[in-house]
A = this chain, B = another copy of it.
Amino acid sequence: LRMTREQVVQRVREMVAYARSLCADVEFSPEDASRTELPFLTQVVEAVIEAGATTVNIPDTVGYSTPDHFTNIIEHLMTHVKNIKKAVISVHCHNDLGLAVANSLAAVKAGARQVECTINGLGERAGNASLEEVVMAIKTRADVFKTRTQINTKMIYPTSRLVALLTGIHVQRNKAIVGQNAFAHEAGIHQDGVLKHRQTYEIMNPQDVGIPESKLVLGKHSGRHALRDRLFQLGVELDDKQIDMVFEQFKILADRKKEVFDEDIEAIVSQLFEEAEAMRTWELASLQTMGGTGVTPTATVQLKSRGDDRIHLDAATGDGPIDAAFSCIMRMTGVEAKLQEFDLRAVTGGKDAQGEVNLELVSNGKTYRGRGRSTDIIEASVLAFVNAINRAVAGGRRNGASPEK
């Protein structure tokens, strides 16, 4: 920065005072604080609080800190910064060494009262402290942390699922709190123990984080009322019009599969969050595919263009039926794209599970994500591809004549 320490202190003091002249709540965050010499950090923190900062955030920008070190930093600030009571101390930890949660908790124990964290631990590189782990540790070990959050923990699991759906970044099976296995006991001795004394082997209750006891919900003959009830239990609040939309999709799905699970309902709901209808330049009208060994994989695609409602028809070959459909769609829409990532998973169990495809393609140097869902995973893949192509078209349009920018 080419400034002396005195100049830096003077500068932040002015900046914070100016910010404070504009609004009442000012947070100051010195980058890489955890690697800054403590006396200098102390001086800066005291200066910004004096200048009006109401929150002072101590970031571990590169995830280099250890819990002991964070305890030291916060305790030092608590005892040496004279006006420390006038501000809330915050932490912002990165997970490069797998210590983001532990470092955040060490700071809380030492007196920090704001934790910057994210659902599923998302964030740059290895991510930030995971909200669900921080919250449940503070709750489960209230004896150690002697504080509490105001988080409704029953919303943790549904929120985690929603974030995974919307970002396409799934949590691993063995992720703490929200992973598929987090509450599943395997070893016989433990299972026996769980049956005898639940509390011996379960330090948390799955229901506390909002994991539904049963995932089987509705069938073909379930009515609007049953759907509304289940949505309520899943923590999803919708108005009547939105419930109508969900119910319509639910009926279509219930015709295709016998049992509709919570995850199916969540998948339908999350479609309500999808980008506006206006973004749909192309719509899949019909699809026919042929494939196999010793057969040339072929796809026949009909796309409807939203502007003039015209149906476009073409066929193409490829490495497999899905690849053939992708090639065909690229030719029909004139969008050149390179598929960069492809991820398909079953949203629910069973032979008639809904498959969800998340993919990423690069067109004109930009990345576009797409998502599609269907009980037929080929259809889900093609829907996801069309979804991404529409975003690429919208992206190109936004950039006007120079899509390369």
- Chain B positions within 8 Å of A293 at CB level: 284-288, 379
- Determine if B291 and A182 form an interchain contact, defined as CB atoms under 8 angstroms apart: no
Of the candidates B98, B286, B339, B353, the one whose C-beta lies within 8 Å of that of A351 is B339
For the complex, count residues of A whose C-beta is within 8 A of B: 104
- Chain B positions within 8 Å of A378 at CB level: 291-292, 320-322, 378
The A322-353 residues at the B interface (CB cut-off 8 A) are 322-323, 326-327, 338-346, 349-353
Query: Is there a chain B Cβ closer than 8 Å to A114's Cβ?
Result: no
- Chain B positions within 8 Å of A353 at CB level: 339, 342
- Chain B positions within 8 Å of A113 at CB level: none
- Determine if A126 and B64 form an interchain contact, defined as CB atoms under 8 angstroms apart: no
The A180-220 residues at the B interface (CB cut-off 8 A) are 181-187, 190, 200-204
Looking at the assembled complex, report how far the CB atom of A142 sits from the nearest CB atom of chain B, in whole angstroms.
Answer: 12
| Interface stretch (choices A47-55, A171-179, A397-405) | A171-179
Query: Is there a chain B Cβ closer than 8 Å to A36's Cβ?
Result: no
- Determine if B292 and A291 form an interchain contact, defined as CB atoms under 8 angstroms apart: no
Of the candidates B175, B183, B319, the one whose C-beta lies within 8 Å of that of A352 is B319
Q: Give A125 to B323 CA distance when docked, in angstroms.
A: 37
- Determine if B125 and A319 form an interchain contact, defined as CB atoms under 8 angstroms apart: no
- Determine if A376 and B96 form an interchain contact, defined as CB atoms under 8 angstroms apart: no
What is the total number of copies of this protein in its complex? 2
- Chain B positions within 8 Å of A43 at CB level: none
| Interface stretch (choices A133-141, A236-244, A268-276) | A133-141
- Determine if B287 and A183 form an interchain contact, defined as CB atoms under 8 angstroms apart: no
| Interface stretch (choices A2-10, A102-110, A227-235) | A102-110
Looking at the assembled complex, report how far the CB atom of A49 sits from the nearest CB atom of chain B, in whole angstroms.
Answer: 25
Q: What residue of chain B has the Cβ atom nearest to residue A67's Cβ?
A: B67
Q: Give A323 to B353 CA distance when docked, in angstroms.
A: 10
| Interface stretch (choices A15-23, A151-159, A294-302) | A294-302
Q: What residue of chain B has the Cβ atom nearest to residue A99's Cβ?
A: B102
Query: Is there a chain B Cβ closer than 8 Å to A144's Cβ?
Result: yes
Most B-side CB within 10 Å, residue of A96, A141, A288: A96
Query: Is there a chain B Cβ closer than 8 Å to A68's Cβ?
Result: yes
12 A/B residue pairs, CB under 8 Å, sorted by A: A61-B201, A68-B144, A124-B190, A125-B185, A170-B172, A285-B293, A287-B293, A288-B292, A292-B378, A320-B378, A338-B349, A341-B346
